[in-house]
Amino acid sequence: MSISLVMFLIFIAITLGITYWASKRSAGASAYFAASRQIKGWQNGIAVAGDYMSAASFLGIAGLIAFNGYDGFMYSVGWLVAYLTVLLVVAEPLRNAGKYTMADVLAYRLHPRPVRAMASLSTLTVSTFYMIAQMVGAGTLVALLLKDSGIKYWQAVIGVGILMIVYVVFGGMLATTWVQIIKAILLMAGTILLSILVLAHFGFSFGDFFNAIGQVTYHDAKGAQITKDFLTPGLMYKPPYGALDLISLGIALIFGTAGLPHILVRFYTVPDAKTARHSVVWAMVLIGTFYIMTTFLGFGAATIVGPDFIKGHGGTNMSAPLLAQALAGNIFFAFISAIAFATILAVVAGLTISASTSFAHDFWTNVIHRGVERKAGEEVRVARVAAFVVGFIAILIALKLQTANVAFLVALTFAVAASANLPVIVFSIFWKRFNTYGAVGGLAVGLVSSLALIVISPNIMGIDAPTVAASARHLIQAKAIFPLSNPAILSVPLGFLGAIIGTFLSREPSAEAKFNELLVRSNTGLGAEKAVAH
Amino acid sequence: MAEPMAEAVQRVPTGQTDWDRIANSRKFQDLMATKKMFIVPAFIFFVVYYFALPVLVGYAPNFMAMKVWGNVNIAYLFALSQFFVAWIIAGLYVRAANDFDRLSQDIIESNGTGERR
């Protein structure tokens, strides 16, 4: 048995222990969906960071920097700055006026059934697409990291899928929270250690480190040896569309993070809006520190390991683990691999609980049964079944997509959150005239336009040479119609427009009459959901 | 479950007229004005500062590639500064929000509890 596998098993044992402990405290809806609203500010902050920083951040961005230098680092920036939108605009009103989901606030003064149905559809779309992207990545990655133990792609996908289902079905939000907290602490510890080792490699001289970044030597696609300054912009984002694509990505992050259902539900786990605010600040400290350290992870991999070696040993995603191996041998490689594994599990668990909560609370209870729970505890039971079903479907799709290139699903997730969810959240809190037509219009236009633009973008459309491997091939072999890989620059304005036009198509006196109530509730916390005492 | 316990302590206004009265009250208007005074400029500032990065990198690449210290260029320092600017804005917001909390608490106390009408 390899050291990596042992570390994976230790992590699994600890998290299952937590799930058992949490399962005994998860009776009742508020306990199951919102961890009784008793999570402390710093705990929730760490959990938000754990919920947010996916394997795409940890392994993906390290790889982006290792291969594209500065452009990869620039990509890092938006992931932190986006939290200012969460902090300034969304977190506190949401905590004050909602109960379990984003739709609680959207439906507050509007006709609840159409609004909740659309919001639930948008939540399920965002969560399942993101989950599939994570699981396909997880399968490939775990198989690669555990190659010595003979673990295959399908075993890895099923293993990850079963674990996330167990955490959520039995442990609810409380277990999910603690899995995310442990993951975030491990991730920070691993990243800090790696950064220190990289600096030690350069004799703790920043000058030497940055000079090495100035001369990274590798072989390009044609096999010619080249030396480039990796701190110079432009290695990845090239004219004519490079800058626009970056701006579009920025829009998706800045407006999308504040519309990600699995992040938003975290703010219902704390006692009040002030704690929600503090948890965002805690999350920002962790997330910012992490992304600054991608400097050492990414440029360290570029200078110490080198793009050529990484390419020959598993590709971009292996940059961070290979750096760990080069600096401190197999035990550290195993440790960093286990962190990557923990990272994936914490994120997919967060996605599973937000999807199942939205299905049970928004769709089942409020759309189908008009807000009435027929039997006590029905909502939680439905959520548990939904978590199982969502997880099961995600496993099946991930098994099918082993050889598909699914990285675009992450871009899609943020684009949908930014174009469909955020305009409607903002208008329902701040625009009196806003109504049901506007909410349904905004959600529908945002969702459809981001989906459609992704389909005709270079993510899906493109002509590949016959030599390109199946996993990297475009799904549609034709020239892309929309030139940017992120649709947000167009789909976000469309989402806002859909909400505005929808609003002006009708008048809804009842929505306008309840505006003051929502305004007072969301801004003062008067009548907000309270923590549950044990 | 002890959920309804807290409700007994804090009575929440039920009639629409109650909410309208609070929304139109001097105290609530003060709260909203205080919030707006911080949040609107802070939001505009961080959005402009953030998008300056891709715009400058995209449209002024030579300027951004200028070396400042050793091999470190303006592009890297500007990207790095984004993290600190975000943290500073978050810190300033938390400080400003203490005032929001005070004003909100005042509104809750004079409206929420039934006994003190």
In a domain, B18, yes or no: no
CB atoms B75 and A229 under 8 Å: no
Residues of B in contact with A96 (CB under 8 A): none
The per-residue pLDDT of chain B, averaged, comes to 83
Question: In this model, does residue B11 exceed pLDDT 80?
Answer: no
Is the predicted pLDDT of residue A49 greater than 60, yes or no? yes
Residue A534's pLDDT band (boundaries 50, 70, 90)? low
Q: What angle do CA B112, B114, B116 make, to 5 degrees?
A: 90
Task: Give the residues across from A228 on adjacent strands.
Answer: A216
Band (pLDDT 50/70/90 cuts) for residue B115 is very low
Residue A86: is its pLDDT beyond 70? yes
Residue B10, domain member (yes or no): no
Between chains, do B55 and A88 touch, taking CB under 8 Å as contact?
A: no
- Range 44-83 of B in CB contact (< 8 A) with A: 46-47, 50-51, 53-55, 57-59, 61, 64-65, 70-73, 75-76, 79-80, 82-83
Residue of B nearest to A239 (CA): B58
pLDDT range class, residue B2, cuts 50, 70, 90: very low
Residue A408: what pLDDT? 75
Is A288–B108 a contact, with Cβ atoms under 8 angstroms apart? no
In a domain, residue B33? The reply is no
Q: What is the pLDDT of residues A410-454, one digit of tens each?
A: 878 899 999 999 999 999 999 999 999 999 999 999 999 999 998
**What pLDDT does B5 receive?**
42
Q: Is B13 part of a structural domain of the chain?
A: no
Q: What is the DSSP letter of B12?
A: P
Q: Could you write out the DSSP letters of every residue in A359-393?
A: IIIIIIIIIISTT--SSTTHHHHHHHHHHHHHHHH
Mean pLDDT of A451-459: 88
Report the SS3 class of residue A219: strand
Greatest mean pLDDT among A180-189, A227-236, A304-313, A314-323: A180-189
CA distances from A185 to A50, A178, A188, A448, A507 (A): 8, 11, 5, 38, 50
The pLDDT-based confidence of A245 (bands split at 50, 70, 90) is confident
Q: Give the pLDDT confidence score for residue B7 in this predicted structure.
A: 43
Q: What is the pLDDT of residue B13?
A: 66
Q: Which residues of A touch B64 (CB under 8 A)?
A: 233
On whether any CB of chain A is under 8 Å from the CB of B110, the answer is no
Q: Does B17 touch chain A (CB under 8 A)?
A: no
Neighbouring C-beta atoms of residue A100, cutoff 10 Å: 24
Most confident of the ranges A402-406, A447-451, B111-115: A447-451
What are the tens digits of pLDDT across the range A56-74? 778 888 888 998 899 889 8
Q: Which domain holds residue B91?
A: 38-110
Instruction: Give the distance from residue B97's alpha carbon to the nearest chain A alpha carbon, in angstroms.
Output: 9
Q: What ipTM did this prediction achieve? A: 0.91
| Per-residue pLDDT at A263 | 92
- For chain A, what's the residue count? 534
Which residues of B fall within a CB distance of 8 Å from A231? 71-73, 75-76
Quick check: A526 and B94 CB within 8 A? no
For chains A and B, count residue pairs whose Cβ atoms are closer than 8 Å: 161
Joined tokens for residue A77:
């920036």
d(CA A163, CA A345): 8
State which residue of chain B sits closest to A81, comparing Cα positions.
Answer: B86
Dist. CA A315–CA A319, nearest whole Å: 7
Chain A contact for B6, CB < 8 A? yes
- The nearest CA of chain A is from the CA of B77 a distance in Å of 11
Contact A70 B75 (CB under 8 A): yes
Q: Give the dihedral of Cα atoms A324, A329, A334, A336; nearest 10 deg.
A: -20
Cβ within 8 Å, pair B58-A73: no
Q: Which residues of B touch A78 (CB under 8 A)?
A: 50
B19 with A532: Cβ contact below 8 A:
no
pLDDT at A515 over 70: yes
Note whether B2 contacts A533, CB cutoff 8 Å.
yes
Q: What is the mean pLDDT of residues A91-107?
A: 90
Amino acid at the residue A274 = K
Q: Locate the chain A residue with the closest alpha carbon to B9.
A: A527
Taking the CA of residue B39 and the nearest CA in chain A, the distance in Å comes to 6
Query: pLDDT tier at A471 (50, 70, 90 boundaries)?
Result: low
pLDDT tens-place string over residues A363-384: 888 888 887 777 778 888 888 9
Residue B114 has pLDDT above 60, yes or no: no
Whether A289 has a pLDDT exceeding 80, the answer reads: yes
Q: Point out the residue among B10, B23, B87 whose CB comes nearest to the CB of A516.
A: B23
pLDDT value, residue A511: 87
Contact A532 B112 (CB under 8 A): no
What ranges do the domains of chain A cover? 3-403
Instruction: Give the confidence band of A529 by pLDDT, cuts at 50, 70, 90.
Output: confident
Q: How confident is the model at residue B3 (pLDDT cuts 50, 70, 90)?
A: very low
Q: What does the pLDDT look like over A181-235, one tens digit per residue?
A: 999 999 999 999 999 999 999 999 888 998 898 888 888 877 888 888 898 888 8
Q: Is residue B84 in a domain?
A: yes
Tell me which of A226-230, A314-318, A359-363, A479-483 is least confident.
Answer: A314-318
Q: Class for domain A3-403, per CATH? A: mainly alpha
Is residue B29 included in any domain, yes or no?
Answer: no
Counted domains in chain B: 1
Q: Report the residue of chain B nearest A28, measured CA to CA.
A: B1
Share of chain A above pLDDT 90, in %: 43
Tell the burial category of B33 from Cβ atoms under 10 Å away from its Cβ (0-12, 13-18, 19+): exposed
Q: Please tell me the predicted confidence (pLDDT) of residue A153.
A: 87
